[in-house]
Chains A and B, each alone.
Chain A
């Protein structure tokens, strides 16, 4: 053995948790090394003090208290964490795991709600001005794409009716480009094949965009985070 024995080795030596070759190596080293002998003595002193600690008998009333608690709540799990623990196999979660789970869960819920609100504002009321008669049927071209005004909608021409649902928002480059070029268009959603462009509000008329089915299959309550003034 080169150098001195580590605390780990000495500690395992005390507990007889070394393999036979390791044991022989340590014994040989300790015989020759005064410093390691002294460290071993110190560790043995501590272990001896710990071993001398008396066992404590639980108070007799403890059994009754446990029985009373069980009788009171019928042994049902309390709270979200305990219910989760039960579902996960009965072993209580370590505090760090429980806290991490709670944080991740909360974050996921916030993201979900935020995504739902930002992504598809199905129930949000949008304010639009009345469309003038001469504007109806007119065409605009945006970045090589042609839109035709139908009622209060600008509908993109030539889209595949089977195309998947797609949402464009002002957070995206495409939406931003549209807004910069046509600042009067404030809101657009894609439902099926049509791009919805809504004129900026002036004299307000309220319309309800068609509800967009939630792809996650959830039934959301009728909830408007920021109702219109």
Chain B
């Protein structure tokens, strides 16, 4: 009986694994949160970076997002996977912080000892190819910032975080048709911006 349940609904296994971590966190096991951080820090940092376009801000955002995750993790109910939940926490926090930025200045960043985000460029590429890729990347990232927020989020989740439409729909809390429409419009807008700037 157990075997058939596992075969029929593999996502449940993921959720159960998530719940183990959450349960350990509830009992005060610090290792559980560290494990969550190890698993998801790159995803959160990259999401923040793609949405705000700045490494320093991405670090600030990630720090705040993980603090929120730590505070709220005990209430995670397992209605979605932990990954989806973390995406939603991160996305909502980015919306909130990036929206506020319009109204008042970004808070001063804590000293990081001079350490910044490190681009994981493919070491097999020669330096010239890496420089071209870096320049092109900056141009694409800058163009992405000009795409309206709902479309940008959908494009980032689809093309950069490489999530399927169904998962994007769960994260954004919209129907799959809306996801499809936002991705298409975001890509078209990005194409117009890039073609206009080249």
Contact = CB atoms under 8 A, between A and B. Distances in A.
Interface of A: 6-8, 10-12, 15, 17, 42-43, 45-47, 49-63, 65-66, 69-70, 73, 75-77, 82, 85-86, 89-95, 98
Given A49-B194, A65-B112, A17 B180 contact: yes
Nearest to B155: A50
B184 A51 contact: no
B185 A7 contact: yes
Contacts of B185: 7
Contacts, number: 162
A55 B46 contact: yes
12 contacts: A10-B184, A46-B194, A49-B136, A53-B140, A55-B120, A57-B42, A57-B45, A62-B41, A62-B45, A91-B88, A92-B68, A95-B100
B118 A56 contact: yes
B41 A60 contact: no
B73 interface: yes
B137 A52 contact: yes
Interface majority SS on B: helix, strand, loop or mixed?
A: helix
B16 interface: no
Contacts of B59: 58-59, 62, 65
B186 to A, nearest CB: 9
**Cβ-closest 9 pairs across A and B:** A90-B75, A11-B184, A90-B72, A58-B45, A50-B159, A7-B184, A8-B184, A95-B96, A66-B66
Nearest to B188: A7
B191 A46 contact: yes
A92 B93 contact: yes
B196 to A, nearest CB: 13
Given A7-B188, A10-B184, A59 B46 contact: no
A82 B59 CA distance: 21
B79 to A, nearest CB: 9
Contacts of B195: 42
A7 to B, nearest CB: 4
Contacts of A49: 136, 140, 194
Nearest to A59: B115
Given A49-B140, A62-B62, A8 B180 contact: yes
Nearest to A48: B159
A170 B62 CA distance: 58
Contacts of A63: 37, 41
B63 A56 contact: no
Given A47-B159, A53-B50, 14 more contacts: A15-B165, A46-B187, A49-B194, A52-B133, A53-B141, A55-B46, A58-B42, A66-B37, A75-B71, A86-B75, A90-B74, A91-B88, A94-B96, A98-B96
